[in-house]
Structure 1
């Protein structure tokens, strides 16, 4: 876990810039709220709104990101009003929270924008419970949210706008299905059921901090699709919380809400959340837990007993998510894995074709967006296969096969990156053998993705010389695709055609 956190590839230092910009944007939002005379609760609400605006918005274009960011208050402020009005009506409040949970997950069917708005709506209701918001506080909190989202947007789209057109994030909405066969519909039902369990049991554990359990259930469902993914995510959430609480006892409790040390540590936590999100959910949860502890320290309520309560409520939420995905409209791991592997293999082919066109001198050909899309899809494959490769998986043969698939897909990605690097060289020139090799890659992908009736993979050509880097990368790509045939066509379920 530690090794992957610091050795995971970061092409173009994207994760580093993502994290650094988050610290700048959220820090600026907090300063603006303070300058505007906001109280500590208002500043906390504003900081969290800025964090969500920078963390969850992931449309494919900068313009799309700007539109989604502008829509966040339109969704969040009415939810904040409802939560505050229902503050003294527990039954109505709890039912409204469950409705927001289900709607927030269901919104993923509309892609990245629906996902972002759903997360913001849920977290707005959650923050209202965190701050015990009442109607009288609404004007100040509205101002804090609007100021913070605007400040975060100014940093993201003005001071530090490094994005260009990006591939649309790989989300469950992209998977096939209608009605109850649609993954997002099933997940909405599952999340509502799991949150209902967490809400009831969370109330039994604590009448004041019950919403922690609901929040744990919600975040276990974010960016997961199958029951296996959700179970692994729940385990990692609890593990990250345990580690975060242990660190909090050493750091947050001794700091005891001192403003300057708390602010510096909070900035480090924000950086850790954004930097680790793409590579380690456990590390991200450690940072989230420590950040929450620092905020409770600033509010003057942090104690070791509160940390023990947070762990208990997190465990309840993870259990609620586990029961929901196992018992309510389960989505099998291998069915989801199949879909993501198919998309990744087709992205491999698209990268190859775009690179060949670039080398051939085709105007406008650019493999970079295709390579970025492939990286996203491989991330989804890793997440989907994680339950199969987990050390606690008792099916050792299946675990080995899943790891083999991941290794070969990673090899494909390495060869694609090599091809893209060659394509960026202005002296690279077209070669007839390049076209033939690209056609063999297309045939290999077709043979892997069209089902068990497909013919055998093409034979691999002789290895090219060291002075022909393009053909060397294509040869490596063909080799990896050929090697994938055995684990993917195995009779036991794992990937293609074994749903």
Structure 2
């Protein structure tokens, strides 16, 4: 697991940039809140608002990111007011919290912007419980949130906007549908049911820290679509929390909230949260758990009993999520993964067509952007298949088939990248055989996505062939080999759960 985090590829140092900018933006937000005279509670509110603005806003373009960031306070301020005003009205507070959970998950149907606004709304309500916010604190909390969002926006869009130098990439949205066939609708109902269980049982465990259980349920649902994904994510959340609590006992508790070392460790945890998010949910949760422990240390309430309570509430939240995805409108891994694979295959064809057009002399063709979109979709396929390739999955046959599909899709991506690299060479010329090979790729994709049989009709390529043609032949072979694992009978599906 350690190797996966620190040896994982980081093209363009994107994860490193993301993490350093997160530390910079959150650190500046906290400093500005302090200079503005806000209390520790205000500074914590501001820091968390900046973290969410820098972490959760993932629109495909810089302009889209700016619009979403500007919308955050329109969602956060009313939710913060509701949480504070209902602080002493438990029934209304709980029902409102569940409504925020359901609306936040349902908002994912509008893509990255809906997802960001939903997360911000939920976390605003959660933070109000964390800080025991009351109506009297609202002016300070409003000011801290707005000030920190401004600072985060200044860092993201002014001081360090590295996205301007990157080609825009597709951010995949969840599979569509209508009514209860829409994944986001089913997930909103699941999340609300799971959060309801976590809220009730969490309050039986602790009348003061019950919201931890609701938070655990919520975050298990974030960035998941199917039943299998949610179960794996829940396991990883619990594992990360357990390890984080162990570190907290060794590091956070002995500090007793000492300002300088706590601030240094908070900085390290923020960096770790941003840096590991894309490669290991377990490591991210470890960092988040230690971060929360350090914040409780600053607030003067951290002790071993509190850490044990956090573990118990996390377990309650995980159970709530598991019960919801298993018994409330379940979304199977097979259904979701098949949709992502279909989209990835269509992107393979689109990238091939763009590269062929570029080789034919079309200067307007942009195969590089298609490759970026394909990489995004393949990342989503890997996430969907994760339950089947997980070490704890006992179904070895399905595990082998799932790994075969991932390997062949990676082969497709590698051949596409090679083809695009050749197409980018201004001296590369169009070979008449490319048109025929591209047609065969198109036919193979149509067969795989339409349900027809895929048969490879190519002669053995010569030992030495034109580079673009070599990549197309490799792509043809990978697509032909995909037919067998993707056509596994429904009784023993390759990507079923």
- Per the alignment, residue 308 of structure 1 pairs with 308
Query: What is the Cα deviation at residue 208 of structure 1?
Result: 0.9
After superposing the two structures, state which structure 1 stretch, 154-163 or 1-10, moved more. 1-10
Structure 2 contact 170–372 (Cα < 8 Å) conserved: no
- Per the alignment, residue 491 of structure 1 pairs with 489
- Taking a change above 3 Å as real, the CA distance of residues 462 and 9 of structure 1, as seen in their structure-2 partners, is farther
How far apart, CA to CA, are the structure 2 residues paired with 1:461 and 1:221? 48
Q: 1:412-449 CA distances to partner (integer Å, 9 max, x unpaired)?
A: 12222222333333333322222322222111111111
How far apart, CA to CA, are the structure 2 residues paired with 1:258 and 1:425? 58
After superposing the two structures, state which structure 1 stretch, 326-335 or 468-477, moved more. 468-477
After superposing the two structures, state which structure 1 stretch, 25-34 or 420-429, moved more. 420-429
How far apart, CA to CA, are the structure 1 residues paired with 2:211 and 2:136? 22
- Per the alignment, residue 480 of structure 1 pairs with 478
Q: 1:198-221 CA distances to partner (integer Å, 9 max, x unpaired)?
A: 001101111111000000000001
Query: Secondary structure at the residue paired with 2:402?
Result: helix
- Per the alignment, residue 445 of structure 2 pairs with 445
Misfit runs of 4+, over 6 Å: none
Structure 1 contact 25–151 (Cα < 8 Å) conserved: yes
Structure 2 contact 59–112 (Cα < 8 Å) conserved: yes
- Per the alignment, residue 120 of structure 1 pairs with 120
How far apart, CA to CA, are the structure 2 residues paired with 1:304 and 1:364? 62
- Per the alignment, residue 169 of structure 1 pairs with 171
Query: What is the Cα deviation at residue 9 of structure 1?
Result: 2.4
Query: Secondary structure at the residue paired with 1:163?
Result: helix
Q: TM-score, normalised by structure 2?
A: 0.96
How far apart, CA to CA, are the structure 2 residues paired with 1:58 and 1:335? 25
- Taking a change above 3 Å as real, the CA distance of residues 15 and 464 of structure 1, as seen in their structure-2 partners, is farther
- Per the alignment, residue 149 of structure 1 pairs with 149
Query: What is the Cα deviation at residue 461 of structure 1?
Result: 4.2
Structure 1 contact 229–387 (Cα < 8 Å) conserved: yes
- Per the alignment, residue 184 of structure 2 pairs with 184
CA-based RMSD of the aligned residues comes to 1.7
**Unmatched tracts of structure 1, length 5 or more:** none
How far apart, CA to CA, are the structure 1 residues paired with 2:428 and 2:284? 42
How far apart, CA to CA, are the structure 1 residues paired with 2:429 and 2:298? 61
- Per the alignment, residue 255 of structure 1 pairs with 255
How far apart, CA to CA, are the structure 2 residues paired with 1:102 and 1:283? 27
Q: 1:117-175 CA distances to partner (integer Å, 9 max, x unpaired)?
A: 11100000000000000111111111110011111111111111121452332132xx1
Structure 1 contact 445–481 (Cα < 8 Å) conserved: yes
In the TM superposition, 1:221-300 aligns within 5 A as 221-300=221-300
Structure 2 contact 454–480 (Cα < 8 Å) conserved: no
How far apart, CA to CA, are the structure 2 residues paired with 1:437 and 1:447? 15
- Taking a change above 3 Å as real, the CA distance of residues 480 and 80 of structure 1, as seen in their structure-2 partners, is same
Within the alignment, does 1:471 sit opposite 2:478 as a pair?
no
Query: What is the Cα deviation at residue 230 of structure 1?
Result: 0.6
Structure 1 contact 29–46 (Cα < 8 Å) conserved: yes
Q: 1:317-365 CA distances to partner (integer Å, 9 max, x unpaired)?
A: 0100000011111111101111011011111111212222233331232
- Per the alignment, residue 216 of structure 2 pairs with 216
Structure 1 contact 443–458 (Cα < 8 Å) conserved: no
Structure 1 contact 402–494 (Cα < 8 Å) conserved: no
How far apart, CA to CA, are the structure 1 residues paired with 2:58 and 2:137? 31
How far apart, CA to CA, are the structure 1 residues paired with 2:202 and 2:384? 29
- Equivalenced residues, count: 494
How far apart, CA to CA, are the structure 2 residues paired with 1:398 and 1:455? 21
Structure 2 contact 453–483 (Cα < 8 Å) conserved: no
In the TM superposition, 1:414-425 aligns within 5 A as 414-425=414-425
Structure 2 contact 398–494 (Cα < 8 Å) conserved: no
After superposing the two structures, state which structure 1 stretch, 99-108 or 411-420, moved more. 411-420
- Per the alignment, residue 375 of structure 1 pairs with 375
Query: What is the Cα deviation at residue 184 of structure 1?
Result: 0.6
Query: What is the Cα deviation at residue 465 of structure 1?
Result: 4.7
How far apart, CA to CA, are the structure 2 residues paired with 1:394 and 1:71? 45
- Taking a change above 3 Å as real, the CA distance of residues 352 and 211 of structure 1, as seen in their structure-2 partners, is same
